[in-house]
Amino acid sequence: ALVSTNPDLGYWMTEYCILQRNGEIRGGGRRDLGMDTALYVARIIHHDLTLAQARSWQWWTAVTQCDYKDGLVYLDDGSNGTTGRTGPRVESLKHDGNVRESKLLWALGNYSRFVRPGMVRIGCNVAPPQSYVSGLLASAYTGTKGEIVLVLVNLSAEAQHCELNLPGPVEVHTTSSTQDLQPGTQDAANILVPPRAVVTISQIGNRQKT
């Protein structure tokens, strides 16, 4: 519709929140601090950017005390959170409570920390192609100084090995069930992507300062 109206028009995906109830995510109720929701959203981000051509992607809310899948960081009094936004339990969190980060926070960081404003998405393909639902997803971006960033989303239960056409070792930041944007270096010719993980790859020394 946008292209037929005006090919120069673009769109932003703003304030995304999980509301759909399906067999995979089972709706927006009940917080999930683990990789299931993180990978679900990472897949949506990938498809919004690469298939729907979104020019920006933004999450709904950062911090919440509620028992929904709408936060990146959660506050609670030792329970699974509240189902309302007012009341004694909510008031108590102004003075004390637990702070819990979600894997979604870190998986979103695999995009937002590295794919910075002004960067442009460039061609990137997985060969041979894999499932858009349960395989390896890859997207790549470049900045004004020629720096390249790749985001790999491994939806499968098996590790994946990738060969990149980039020189030398590269920086990797991995989010998985045991890692939170864990930094490291790997050989560009043999990148290991752990099972059910999100990995961001950037050329050493070329990442934009944040």
| Mean pLDDT taken over the chain | 91
pLDDT category, 87, cuts 50, 70, 90?
confident
Per-position b or e across 170-200, b if 16+ CB within 10 A of its CB: bbbbbbbeebebeeeebebeebbbbebbbbb
Residue 23: inside a domain, yes or no?
yes
**Does residue 161 share a domain with residue 75?**
no
Amino acid identity at 20? Q
% of the chain beyond a pLDDT of 90? 70
Amino acid identity at 100? R
**Does residue 177 share a domain with residue 100?**
no
- Indicate whether 210 pLDDT > 50: no
pLDDT for position 41 = 97
Residue 146: inside a domain, yes or no?
yes
How much is the average pLDDT of 83-90? 74
pLDDT in tens, 123-182: 999 999 899 999 999 999 999 999 999 999 999 999 999 999 998 899 999 999 999 999
Sign of CA dihedral 36, 41, 42, 48: positive
Query: Do residues 13 and 54 make contact, with C-beta atoms less than 8 angstroms apart?
Result: yes
Which range marks the domain in which residue 180 is found? 116-203
**What CATH number is given to the structural domain containing 184?**
2.60.40.1180
**Does residue 98 share a domain with residue 14?**
yes
What phi and psi, each to the nearest 5 degrees, are found at residue 48? -65, -40
One DSSP character per residue, 148-207 reads: EEEEEEE-SSS-EEE--S--SEEEEEEESSS-SSEEEEEETTSEEE-TTEEEEEEETT-S
Q: Which is more confident, 66 or 109?
A: 109
Residue 208: inside a domain, yes or no?
no
**Does residue 131 share a domain with residue 57?**
no
**Does residue 91 share a domain with residue 132?**
no
